[in-house]
Amino acid sequence: MPRFWDFVKQTNPSSGKLPLTHATDLFHFRQIRGTSTLDPTKCDVYGTKLLYFFYGRPSYRPHAQLATIDAKAFLPVCMLMSRELTDKAVRIMPFDSGAFHHGRMHPPMHKEMALDEFEMAVDATAPMRLVDLFYGNERKYFDAAAKKEFGGYDEFEELEIDSYFRLLHHRSNSPTDDRVSAVEIQIADPIALAGQVHAVILPRQFLDRPGVVTQIESWGAIAIPYNVKEEFIPREAQGAIFEKIAEYLEQEGMLDPP
């Protein structure tokens, strides 16, 4: 395995509670509702069909680059999924692999560093090992509050580890946003939603439509509405989703209060 994982795996992981998150938009959620399944799609990074999740928080933000818009297809949706799906993973990364592939983390990542040098073992404990090592606990990970000081490695030799640590403290107004600090879970198989979804966070107006809440409940999940104006900025709507997720996780005992 790569040196990055050789370093991370030495951590004795605590028990995690956070679910996986899958972010999408209303256009794609229409298809998801039609099949009650998440289907892998072609990934331009790995060249195969994959589903992408993040551990604990919705770090992928669809259409985050858009300004004010009123087309409903772009409304963000977030699904909170069972953490047990990690057992189906084909790859686990310490950040958004697409953002790395497209150079959005460079610097502090060196442009010659290989993506697979950061690949972690396909192990259900991998997310918690990284969380405990670089954050200390899941609450700090959820808040993207990495440790300010970090040691135990040679910063002049173990350069991937050093660059990753610097990445966690990269200025927050950079185009990379918090995808740089969220554990990515890749799954290659379709996922039938029944019994695998905790909650779905959607626009309040959409939940008033016939059958929407009933279908979500048939998956064993609850529907959580967020408020959005007729004209909206996707990034701001995603901020509202983040707050709803925090409230839900705290209420369900999956996340300690700040």
Domain residue ranges of the chain, discontinuous segments joined by +: 3-249
Confirm if 238 and 58 have CB atoms less than 8 A apart.
yes
Tens digit of each residue's pLDDT (9 = 90 or more) over 146-163: 999 888 999 999 999 999
Q: Are 192 and 215 in contact (CB under 8 A)?
A: no
- 250 and 257 in contact (C-beta within 8 Å)? yes
* pLDDT score at 63: 56
Tell me the C-alpha distance between 142 and 144, whole Å.
5
Please tell me the predicted confidence (pLDDT) of residue 257.
Answer: 87
CA distances to 175, 234, 235 from 65, in Å = 9, 8, 8
Token pair of 105 as six digits: 């983390």
Confidence of residue 240 (pLDDT cuts 50, 70, 90): confident
